[in-house]
Amino acid sequence: MSKITLKVNGGTHTVDVEPATPLLYILRNDLGLQGPHFGCGLGQCGACTVIINGAAVRSCILPTSAVRGEITTLEGLSSNGKLHPLQQAWIDEQAPQCGFCQNGQIMTAKVMLDKNPHPTDAQIRESMNNTLCRCMSYNRVQAAIKRAAKTVAETHPAADKPEKEVAA
């Protein structure tokens, strides 16, 4: 057993675990976070996705001892009781059916929108390609991502647009 300190959703947590324990187990069992789900256990489906240092990471195959940096789970997306635009878009577009994949879908979409705030339909499909949905609600997921992108653009219009070059 080893004491490992993790930064999760803005807080610091020290856990005494076997270093090879998958991060997913620590998040769910030790920290009580219910966003990431155990899906396939092989890092293939995406249900366990968390964000570490701006990257979508499959927590079911990541040893806790290998974590370097801030971890954000689905619970960490909301701020001051207000849902993240993606979370609200999921509700507005009625994206979930069984809801099992939604953690992976939302976390993967968040990383994509952080990198590309104005994705095309093809870019959304490409980015979301490896996050599986048993219910096949991919069209609703795409609609929710487009809604969230529009909401973010309306609330922060200058934040995601490239600055114009000034001629010297």
Which tens digits make up the pLDDT trace of 110-144? 999 999 999 999 999 999 999 999 889 999 999 99
Contact 30, 15 (CB under 8 A): yes
Phi, psi of 81 (to 5 degrees): 80, 0
Q: What is the pLDDT of residue 11?
A: 96
* Helix (H) / strand (E) containing 152: helix 138-155
Mean pLDDT by 10 residues, the chain (168 residues): 96 96 97 96 96 97 96 96 95 91 96 95 96 91 96 72 44
The token pair that represents 145 in the structure block: 């991502």
List domains and CATH numbers for the chain.
2-75 (3.10.20.30), 85-155 (1.10.150.120)
Nearest to 131 by CA among 52, 44, 51: 44
* CB-CB contact of 22 with 49 (8 Å): no
CA distances in angstroms from 131 to 21, 36, 65, 76, 85, listed in the order given: 23, 13, 25, 20, 19
pTM across the whole model: 0.89
